[in-house]
Amino acid sequence: MELMSPFYELAGLVYQPGFMRRSAAALFFLTLTASAVGVLVVNRRMAFFPDAVGHSVFVGVALALILNIGIQPTVLFLGLIIGLLIIFLSRHGKLAPDTVIGLTFSGAVALGLALVSREPQATAGLTKFFLGDVLTVTDGQVLSLGFLTLLSIIFLLFLTNRLTLASIVPRVKAGTELAEYLFGAFLSVVVMLAVQAVGVLLVTALLVAPAATGRVLASSFKAMFLSAVVCGVIAGQAGLWASSQPSINTSVGATVVLANVFLFGLAVVFRRFRPDRG
Amino acid sequence: MTCITLDRVGVTLGRFKVLSEVTAQIPAGRQTVIIGPNGAGKSTLIQTILGQWPHTGTITFDPAVPRFGYVPQRLDFDRHMPLLVREFLALGISQRPLWLGLGPKVADRVFQGLEQVQAEYLVNKPMGSLSGGETQRVLLAAAMMTEPDVVVLDEPTTGVDISGEQLLCEILDSFKNNRTIVMVSHDLATAKAHGDWVICLNHRVVAQGRPEDIFKPAVLAATFGIHWGLEAQTGEGRSWEAPWNS
């Protein structure tokens, strides 16, 4: 865990308890990754992809309990399958991506509810996925999130330009099959890890809100990307700090998302009154 | 000299035979314009040349593996997406991700590419703010920056005003001695004024030849189906001698 000690020491400037330091480090990695990947999600008009993948958690938890297998790997695996299914149907079906996402979302929720209604004990397992639980994160999970952040940087180094070009020039789409599936798979993993931090109800905001703020503030891709990442990380840490204040004392996931929405609102006001922008 | 030779090329998409027995020659270093009515298979033909559709028959190239630059009819993107012209052009020539900014060499190439199409003043403009003519010139710059042997344009003057169209055609004229240009167009006046070779397509080649041979009522009637009963047979499948072969 020595790898994480610089992050823990930095968090130690604000927080004394170990669980708060781990939460701060986990949120740093998660918000950095989610807001960076979220830029591609927003620019590719896939804002509801995280919702559809996130809701597959119902199926994952119920299946894991029915089959008596580990919840974590089952949930991750099912999220991956749903994400790849959406990419496949969007590429090969005759339906627009929003229709495919809507159908997959409904199907995942319906199957999850059907399974949960058959196995009532699954309801208990679902609770932590509804609202997320970043405060109980372990050292191992923080390390995993750090590794995910490293992977996302490598992924974005190689695929940002290709995926952006494919979303603009129709002909280029033909040569980007592998990149699209890689993106779908990677995004699904990010979503399923984010679900555990902020909950399935708020996961979309963690990916989409920082990118939306960046988009409001910026006129270039580079500026949008950098502002999204900065806003996402700031909102994550501000949300954690605010939720830990006795006078506020709210759920971390919800407070992080509220901080993101607050920054988005500020960006809209800033843009509205900035003289050089319409 | 012939750059692209199509010999009895056929394309079937689903159950629909879009192209049938298409035999045509596209001259090197000239501007070839493909004309025909809506749904005639013009875009499918250029996409087939670009290798996007499986086909019957043969397509041969000289050079054997040409480098293509493609200018699409439109861009399928959200016009509010923050993307500067220089960033868009860098997407096609740079591996460095946009979020790290443009390197100095790429920035120079982008500026030179825009200079070629008289659009250097657009370098820092958002893509979504461009007019139809400006967008087409930026797309042409993107195609030219890959140093292609063949530039393929799909209806480049659609949605472009008269002055923008004139400028685009002049720029294409200035390129054509060094590059082979293949263009699909609905605009017969543009095809007549700027094309060196015209292919009339209606699922198959109705006629091909120099503009002065093609732009005659009988050939156009056979291609577009106007006064079909009176003159349709006159231009059926007719090919004039290719001047670059004589």
Listed by number, the residues of chain B in 101-120 with a beta carbon closer than 8 Å to a beta carbon of chain A are 101
**pLDDT at res. B230:** 40
CB contact under 8 A, B75 and A218: no
Cα distance from A164 to chain B (closest Cα, Å)?
8
Question: What is the spatial distance between Cα B107 and Cα A96, in angstroms, rounded to a whole number?
Answer: 36
**pLDDT at res. A171:** 60
Residue B61 bridge partners (DSSP): B4
Question: What is the spatial distance between Cα B6 and Cα A9, in angstroms, rounded to a whole number?
Answer: 69
CB contact under 8 A, B76 and A170: yes
Sign of the C-alpha dihedral computed for residues A253, A254, A255 and A256 taken in this order: positive
CB contact under 8 A, A220 and B94: no
User: Average pLDDT in the A257-266 region?
Assistant: 95
Alpha helices in chain A (DSSP H): 5-12, 18-43, 49-54, 56-67, 71-92, 97-118, 122-131, 139-168, 177-198, 203-217, 221-244, 252-273
Question: What is the spatial distance between Cα A239 and Cα A30, in angstroms, rounded to a whole number?
Answer: 13
User: Average pLDDT in the A266-275 region?
Assistant: 85
A113, A200 contact by CB (below 8 A): no
Burial label, A143 (beta-carbon count in 10 A; 0-12, 13-18, 19+): middle
Among A28-42, A113-127, A227-241, B73-87, the range scoring the smallest mean pLDDT is A113-127
**pLDDT at res. B161:** 77
CB contact under 8 A, B82 and A224: yes
Question: What is the spatial distance between Cα A83 and Cα A182, in angstroms, rounded to a whole number?
Answer: 10
Burial label, B157 (beta-carbon count in 10 A; 0-12, 13-18, 19+): buried
Q: Given a cut of 70, is residue B245 above it in pLDDT?
A: no
The answer, yes or no, to whether the previous bond of B63 is cis (omega within 30 of 0) is yes
State chain B's mean pLDDT as an integer: 84
Q: Given a cut of 70, is residue A74 above it in pLDDT?
A: yes
User: Average pLDDT in the A249-259 region?
Assistant: 90
State chain A's mean pLDDT as an integer: 87
Question: What is the spatial distance between Cα A27 and Cα A255, in angstroms, rounded to a whole number?
Answer: 12
CA distances from A194 to A71, A84, B136 (A): 15, 18, 41
| Contact residues on chain B for A174, CB-CB shorter than 8 A | 52
Q: Given a cut of 50, is residue A26 above it in pLDDT?
A: yes
CA distances from A156 to A104, A163, A233, A275, B201 (A): 26, 10, 17, 33, 44
Sign of the C-alpha dihedral computed for residues A193, A194, A199 and A202 taken in this order: negative
Torsion of CA A207, A212, A214, A220, to 10 degrees: 110
- CA geometry: angle at A173 spanning B66 and A162, to 5°? 85
Of the candidates A73, A80, A71, the one whose C-alpha atom is nearest the C-alpha of residue A108 is A80
Note the pTM of the prediction, 2 decimals.
0.83
**pLDDT at res. A223:** 95
Question: What is the spatial distance between Cα A238 and Cα A248, in angstroms, rounded to a whole number?
Answer: 12
Minimum CA–CA partner of A213 in chain B: B82
Q: Given a cut of 90, is residue A149 above it in pLDDT?
A: yes
CB contact under 8 A, A169 and B72: yes
Percent of chain B with pLDDT over 90: 28
Q: Given a cut of 50, is residue B10 above it in pLDDT?
A: yes
| Contact residues on chain A for B83, CB-CB shorter than 8 A | 164, 168, 220-221
Among A167-181, B86-100, B177-191, the range scoring the smallest mean pLDDT is A167-181
**pLDDT at res. B231:** 40
Question: What is the spatial distance between Cα B2 and Cα A85, in angstroms, rounded to a whole number?
Answer: 46
**pLDDT at res. A170:** 64
Q: Given a cut of 90, is residue A212 above it in pLDDT?
A: yes
User: Average pLDDT in the A20-27 region?
Assistant: 91
| Contact residues on chain A for B77, CB-CB shorter than 8 A | 167-168
Percent of chain A with pLDDT over 90: 38
- CA geometry: angle at B155 spanning B151 and B161, to 5°? 115
Q: Given a cut of 70, is residue B228 above it in pLDDT?
A: no
Question: What is the spatial distance between Cα A215 and Cα B81, in angstroms, rounded to a whole number?
Answer: 7
A49, A186 contact by CB (below 8 A): no
Q: Which of A158, A174, A226 sits opposite B99 (nearest CB)?
A: A226
Cα distance from B172 to chain A (closest Cα, Å)?
21
**pLDDT at res. A60:** 86
CB contact under 8 A, B99 and A171: no
> A82 falls in which pLDDT band (50, 70, 90)?
very high
**pLDDT at res. A265:** 95
Among A64-78, A124-138, B101-115, the range scoring the smallest mean pLDDT is A124-138
Q: Which of A45, A164, A171 sits opposite B98 (nearest CB)?
A: A164
The size of the A-B interface in CB pairs under 8 A is: 73
| Contact residues on chain A for B100, CB-CB shorter than 8 A | 222
Q: Which of A156, A165, A221 sits opposite B92 (nearest CB)?
A: A165
**pLDDT at res. A42:** 92
Q: Given a cut of 50, is residue A29 above it in pLDDT?
A: yes
Q: Given a cut of 50, is residue B58 above it in pLDDT?
A: yes
Residue type, A42: V
pLDDT tens-place string over residues A95-108: 888 888 889 889 98
Q: If DSSP codes are grouped into helix, strand and coil, which group holds residue A13?
A: coil
> A25 falls in which pLDDT band (50, 70, 90)?
very high
Residue type, A110: A
Six-digit token string for A254? 């919800």
**If interface means Cβ-Cβ distance under 8 Å, which residues of chain A face chain B?**
39, 43, 45, 156-158, 160-161, 164-165, 167-171, 174, 214-215, 218-226
Cα distance from B53 to chain A (closest Cα, Å)?
11
pLDDT tens-place string over residues A164-189: 888 887 665 556 788 889 999 999 99
DSSP A249: -
Q: Given a cut of 90, is residue A234 above it in pLDDT?
A: yes
A240, B117 contact by CB (below 8 A): no
**pLDDT at res. A152:** 92
Question: What is the spatial distance between Cα B151 and Cα B149, in angstroms, rounded to a whole number?
Answer: 7
Alpha helices in chain B (DSSP H): 42-49, 85-91, 104-116, 132-144, 162-175, 188-194, 211-214, 217-224, 228-231
Q: Which of B75, B82, B92 sits opposite A221 (nearest CB)?
A: B82
Six-digit token string for A255? 């407070």
Question: What is the spatial distance between Cα A45 and Cα A34, in angstroms, rounded to a whole number?
Answer: 16
CA distances from A257 to A128, A194, A251, B114 (A): 17, 12, 10, 42
Q: Given a cut of 80, is residue B37 above it in pLDDT?
A: yes
Residues with Cβ within 8 Å of A148's Cβ and at least 6 positions away in sequence, in order, are A29, A30, A33, A189, A190, A193
Q: Which of A161, A169, A174 sits opposite B98 (nearest CB)?
A: A161
Pick the more confident residue, A122 or B170.
B170
